[in-house]
C-alpha cells in the first residue's frame, strides 16, 4: 500500500508539472502537452514530457499504469458484477495487438467491451463499460465474460460479436453457442442483429456504384430510424407501441422490397451479396420490434470502443498479455467516468488514494465511477 501511495503522490506531482508546463509556465490543466499525452503511447509520452523538462522514462510510466491497474482490478471486477445484473447490455470487441515474446512479432488479442446504456429508454442505472482483455475472439471468451448474465444483450452485427437475450449480433458463428442449450453460465441467449450494420452494407455499395437500389434501401431504413429518433428516452412500453404502429409496417414494406430486388439482381453481384446477407438474418433484425428496451443498433458500445481504436493506432501494440489486461482495466474506468461526466484524473487519484488508505471491501460500491462526486468543474 505504501508503494501505491508513492505512485499516487508521484503522479500528482507529475500532473501539476504538466499543468504548468503545458502553457509556458502558466497554470493550464488542459495544456496542449497534456492533451496530446492522453492519446499517445508511452514512448511518445516520454518524448513529449522530455521536451517539457520532465524526465519520465516509458518504463516508469508503464510501471505506474501496471501498479494502478493491479490495485484497481477489484473495482473493475465489481463494475462487471453490476453490469451483469442489468436488464440489457451491449457487447462488441476490437483488436488489441500484443507483443508475442520470443516470436519477434505481435499476436492479435482483443478487448471485449460489455456496456450498459439505458438512457434510450429512460432507465435509471448509470451508463458504464467494462473492457476485458482476451488473447483471441473465440466464442468461449464471450461465454466466460457473460457467465451469469440473463438479460438482453446487443452487439454490432457484422463485426465480431453475438448478443444476448435480445441483441444485435454480427452473425459471427464463433458465438453461436451463446444461443444454444449448451451455453455455459446461463440460459440460451436470443440473438438480434444491428440495423446500422445492415445499412452500412448498402451504403458501401451506394458509395462505390451509385446504385439506385442501394439508395432506395437506405431511404427505407432512414424512415425506420426517424421513428427511433422520436421515441428516444421514452418508456419501453411507449417505444414498443410506437414501433408496432409505425416501424413494423415500414419493416414489412422493406422486406417486400428486399424480395423484389433479390428476384432481379444476381446473388453473385456485390449488391446481391449485401441483399442476401440482410435476407438471411431478417428474423433477427426484427427483434427490436418485440421489446422496447432493445435498440436498432449498437452505437452506444461503438462510441466506447472508438478511443481504444485511436489508442491502438498510436501505440500499435501492448508489450505483453498483462499489458493488455492493464489496458482493459484502465479503459474501463476512464470510459465509464466519461459516460458519467466524471473527470477521470480526479476519480483515479481519489480512488487510488482510498485504496492506499485501506478502503473497506464492504464499501467497494462507493468506489464505482458513477458514485464519485466530481469536485472539478
Query: pLDDT by residue (tens digit) across 152-192?
Result: 778 654 443 333 333 344 444 556 677 788 888 888 877 77
- Residues paired with 100 in a beta bridge: 105
Top pLDDT among 176 and 370 is at 370
208: pLDDT confidence band, cut at 50, 70 and 90?
very high
| 274: exposed, middle or buried (Cβ count in 10 Å: 0-12, 13-18, 19+) | buried
Most confident of 1-5, 20-24, 53-57, 303-307: 303-307
pLDDT of amino acid 369: 98
Cβ distance 164 to 152 under 8 Å?
yes
| Domain residue extents for the chain | 79-194+297-341, 195-289
Angle of helix 270-280 versus helix 195-209 axis, rounded to 10? 170
For 340, the enclosing helix (H) or strand (E) is: none
210: pLDDT confidence band, cut at 50, 70 and 90?
very high
Q: Quick check: 52 pLDDT over 70?
A: no
How high does pLDDT run on average in the chain? 80
pLDDT of amino acid 7: 57
Q: Quick check: 40 pLDDT over 60?
A: no
Q: What is the pLDDT of residues 265-284, one digit of tens each?
A: 999 999 999 999 999 989 88
Find the mean pLDDT for residues 235-240.
Answer: 98
Please state, in angstroms and as integers, the Cα–Cα distance from residue 197 to each residue in 191, 194, 239, 270, following that order: 15, 6, 22, 16
Amino acid at each position: 500500500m505504501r508503494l501505491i501511495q508513492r505512485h499516487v503522490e508521484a503522479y500528482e506531482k507529475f500532473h501539476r508539472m504538466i499543468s504548468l508546463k503545458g502553457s509556458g509556465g502558466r497554470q493550464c490543466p488542459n495544456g496542449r502537452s497534456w492533451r496530446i499525452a492522453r492519446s499517445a503511447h508511452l514512448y511518445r509520452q516520454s518524448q513529449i514530457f522530455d521536451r517539457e523538462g520532465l524526465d519520465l522514462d516509458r518504463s516508469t510510466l508503464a510501471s505506474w499504469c501496471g501498479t494502478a491497474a493491479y490495485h484497481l482490478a477489484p473495482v473493475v471486477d465489481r463494475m462487471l458484477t453490476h453490469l451483469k445484473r442489468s436488464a440489457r447490455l451491449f457487447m462488441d470487441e476490437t483488436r488489441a495487438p500484443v507483443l508475442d515474446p520470443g516470436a519477434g512479432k505481435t499476436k492479435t488479442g482483443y478487448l471485449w467491451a460489455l456496456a450498459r446504456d439505458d438512457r434510450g429508454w429512460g432507465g435509471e442505472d448509470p451508463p458504464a463499460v467494462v473492457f476485458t482483455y482476451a488473447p483471441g475472439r473465440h466464442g468461449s471468451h464471450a461465454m466466460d465474460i457473460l457467465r451469469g448474465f440473463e438479460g438482453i444483450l446487443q452487439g454490432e452485427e457484422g463485426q465480431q460479436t453475438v448478443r444476448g437475450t435480445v441483441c444485435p449480433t454480427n452473425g459471427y458463428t464463433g458465438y453461436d453457442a451463446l444461443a444454444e442449450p449448451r451455453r455455459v453460465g446461463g440460459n440460451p441467449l436470443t440473438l438480434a442483429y444491428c440495423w446500422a450494420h445492415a445499412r452500412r452494407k448498402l451504403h458501401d455499395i451506394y458509395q462505390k456504384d451509385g446504385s439506385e437500389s442501394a439508395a432506395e434501401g437506405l431511404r427505407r431504413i432512414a424512415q425506420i430510424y426517424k421513428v427511433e429518433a422520436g421515441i428516444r428516452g421514452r418508456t419501453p412500453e411507449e417505444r414498443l407501441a410506437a414501433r408496432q404502429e409505425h416501424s413494423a409496417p415500414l419493416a414489412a414494406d422493406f422486406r417486400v422490397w428486399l424480395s423484389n430486388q433479390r428476384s432481379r439482381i444476381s446473388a453473385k453481384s456485390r449488391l446481391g451479396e449485401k441483399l442476401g446477407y440482410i435476407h438471411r438474418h431478417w428474423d433477427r433484425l426484427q427483434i427490436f420490434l418485440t421489446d422496447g428496451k432493445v435498440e436498432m443498433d449498437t452505437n452506444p458500445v461503438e462510441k466506447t470502443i472508438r478511443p481504444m481504436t485511436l489508442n491502438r493506432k498510436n501505440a500499435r501494440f501492448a508489450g505483453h498479455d498483462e499489458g493488455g489486461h492493464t489496458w482493459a482495466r484502465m479503459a474501463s474506468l476512464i470510459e465509464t467516468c466519461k459516460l458519467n461526466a466524471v473527470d477521470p484524473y480526479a476519480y483515479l487519484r481519489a480512488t487510488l488514494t482510498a485504496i492506499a488508505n485501506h478502503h473497506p471491501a464492504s464499501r467497494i460500491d462507493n468506489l464505482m465511477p458513477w458514485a464519485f462526486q466530481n469536485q472539478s468543474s
